[in-house]
Amino acid sequence: MIMGDDTRALEMLQGMATMQDEHNTQVHPQWRTQGYAYYRAIWVECAEMLDHYGWKWWKQQNPDLDQVKLELVDIWHFALSELMRADNLTDDVATQLAAVAPSKGDAEAFRRAIERLAESTLRTQSFDLAPFMQAMAALPLPYDELFDLYIGKNILNRFRQDHGYKTGEYEKLWQGREDNEHLIEVLAGLSCAPEAMPAALYSALADRYPH
C-alpha cells in the first residue's frame, strides 16, 4: 500500500483508537481497569481463523477470504484494546502498519504467521505487532483495507450492543445468514464520503435487521 504521507496513516490509527475506546466504554465505562483478558480473545480468534481459512489436508476446504479478513479485523479490535490499556499505542504503530507490503497471497506463510501470533500472545499474555503484520502481508490485507473493514466491524459491534448482544437478545442470524455476511454485502454497496460511512452503515444494517 502507498500512503499519501505519515500524517494520514496516523489519522487512521487515531480514528480507530477513538472508535475502539467508544465501543469498549459502551461495554463497560471503566474497561481499562477491569482486567479483561484481551490476549485470550486474540489467541482464540487465531484458532477460529485457521478453521475459516483451512488447514486440513484430508478434506477439501475453500476459504472465504472476506470472512477471514473480518476475523483478522476482530483480532485488531482486541489488539487495539490491549495496546491502549498498556499505553503502547504509539505513533510508530501507524508507521509500521502503513509500511506492510502485501504479497500476492501465501497460504502457508499466512498460517504460520497466525500460529506465531497465537504463540506470542499466549507466552506474553499481550499483543505482538510483528506477526500480526506478517499475517496482513501474507493474506494480503493492506492497511487501508484494514482501516475500512475496522470501521465496518466497529459499527456492527456497536449495532449488536444497541440491540441486546450483551443481554442475549441480539439475533446474529438474519434470513439464514450471519450478520458478518450482511456487513460485507452492505459495505460493498455503500457509496458515500468516508466521514458519512459510519452513520450510513448503521442505517443500512438497521434496515436489514429483523424487527
Tens-place pLDDT, residues 84-118: 999 999 999 999 999 998 888 899 999 999 999 99
pLDDT at 208 over 50: yes
Cα 179 to the center of its chain, rounded Å: 15
pLDDT at 3 over 60: no
Domain boundaries, the chain: 6-149
Tens digit of each residue's pLDDT (9 = 90 or more) over 138-189? 999 999 999 999 999 999 988 998 999 989 999 999 989 999 899 989 988 8
- Identity at 80, one-letter amino acid code: L
Looking at residue 1, its pLDDT comes to 37
CA distance 115 to 77: 18
Partners of residue 60 on adjacent β-strands: none
CATH class of 6-149: mainly alpha
Looking at residue 189, its pLDDT comes to 87
Percent over 90 (pLDDT), the chain: 73
Query: Residues, the chain, total?
Result: 211
Mean pLDDT of the chain: 91
CA distance 22 to 30: 11
Whole-structure pTM value: 0.87
What is the maximum alpha-carbon separation in the chain? Answer: 48
Burial (CB < 10 A; 0-12, 13-18, 19+), residue 65, is: middle
Looking at residue 33, its pLDDT comes to 96
Tens digit of each residue's pLDDT (9 = 90 or more) over 30-83? 999 999 999 999 999 999 999 889 999 999 888 888 889 999 999 999 999 999
